[in-house]
Amino acid sequence: MKELRDWFLSNHRKLKFRETKEPYKIWVSEVMLQQTRVSAMLSSYERFMEKFPNVESLSNSTEEEVVSLWKGLGYYSRALNLRKGAIYITEKFDGKFPNDINKALSIPGVGQYTARAVLSIAYENPLAVLDGNVKRVLSRYFLFKKNINQTNAHKELQLLADQFLNKENPGDHNQAMMELGATICTMEPRCAVCPLQNSCLGFSTKEASSLPIKIKEKPKIDIELIFLVFRKENKLLITKSKNRRFFKTIYAIPFYIISKDLDFKNDFSQELKNMILKNRILTSKKHSITHHKIQLGYSEIPINFENEISGEKKWIEIDQIEHEFPSSISKKLKTFFESKS
Ligand code: SF4
């Protein structure tokens, strides 16, 4: 949109990291800005750039050097990830931040927002950014009335951001959206001086101040869901029980829950619990069931413990697991059960 870009070109704050097209410098600034205000990061940014002016110098640094230059910014994992990212870029991409979204996303610590910001600003790659500020602007501009904390809302807003992107000048457009969100379309929007006023639905309906809608989701409970693998020849035991926390209405492989956040009740003997923990293998697979963030694992259990498992029981062929235990979890774990058979 022309009005937005014109406004940005004549009004934006003169910030060093906004005056460059060097992907490395943009990358560092975007990482610093993720949890820190512009005014608080400027001096750290300059010191960082003096010491590490390019990918090569950062990739040759030590963790201690990077952390000491990050003092005052907090969230030190960002600094360590930047260093790891620099080493990765040196090794994989010859020291140059790649102009390709998938390659950029493979860099440690680089997510959608950072990749899109760097690629659009440095290379004019037509990728729209979506951070908190941009979400606020888009929600008001398009009168988007869903809870923006929901995963689906994020996807929908990303689509709106993509549609709204000025594809001829994506770098300026993205910076303009961030700047507008930071200076004009703030919590209390200053619509009178906004370049989007004429086409903004939030303004025309007088609903801008009530948007975006943010309803905090219940905090997620972190758990390990350890499936108990009872084998008889090539068969697995599955059970059905209304008294368990998940899969109350379907057959499932029996499971044991471990959580630091909550105490889950179960009737297993101490001997079985010890056996579960001793044989427990955590997989790389994750899952999510209403408010539970789940790390999946399994534990091979000798058949003599079978009588401790309650509920209706059934022995099934391993290759029938997806059919008999109709959850995407069984698909995720099938290979682990098969590999042991
Ligand atoms: Fe935000 Fe108001 Fe501008 Fe709409 S007109 S984008 S609500 S500042």
**pLDDT tens digits for 169-223?**
999 999 999 999 999 999 999 999 999 999 999 999 999 999 999 987 778 889 9
143 Cα–ligand 1 center, Å? 11
pLDDT single digits (tens) 304-332: 999 999 999 999 998 888 888 888 888 88
Largest Cα span, the chain: 77
Q: Between 299 and 245, whose confidence is greater?
A: 299
199 Cα–ligand 1 center, Å? 9
Contact at 8 Å (CB) between 172 and 166? yes
192 Cα–ligand 1 center, Å? 8
- Token digits for 22? 């060097």
Q: Does the pLDDT at position 240 exceed 70? A: yes
CA dist list (Å): 5 to 169, 172, 193:
8, 6, 14
So what's the pLDDT on residue 242? 87
Cβ(208) – ligand 1 distance below 6 Å: yes
Q: What share of the chain is helix, strand, coil (3-state, %, to 5)?
A: 50, 15, 35
Q: Given the DSSP bridges, would you call strands 235-240 and 221-229 parallel, antiparallel or unpaired?
A: unpaired
Amino acid at 320: Q
3-state secondary structure of 154: helix
What is the number of the ligand 1 atom nearest to the C-alpha of 191? 2
Contact at 8 Å (CB) between 9 and 53? no
Nearest CA residue ID for atom 2, ligand 1: 191
Using 50, 70 and 90 to split pLDDT, how confident is the model at 339? low
- Percentage above 90 pLDDT, the chain: 68
Name the residue of 178, 185, 209 to mutate for ligand 1: max ligand atoms within 8 A of Cβ: 185
So what's the pLDDT on residue 65? 92
Cβ(140) – ligand 1 distance below 6 Å: yes
Contacts of 16 (CB under 8 A, 6+ apart): 42, 45, 46, 49
Contacts of 41 (CB under 8 A, 6+ apart): 29, 32, 33, 73
195 Cα–ligand 1 center, Å? 8
Using 50, 70 and 90 to split pLDDT, how confident is the model at 285? confident
Task: Please compute the mean of the pLDDT values over residues 257-282 and round it to a whole number.
Answer: 88
Nearest CA residue ID for atom 5, ligand 1: 197
In 3D, which of 132, 188, 121 has the Cα closest to residue 157?
A: 132
Contact at 8 Å (CB) between 293 and 222? yes
Using 50, 70 and 90 to split pLDDT, how confident is the model at 161? very high
Which residues are known to be catalytic?
30
Cβ(177) – ligand 1 distance below 6 Å: no
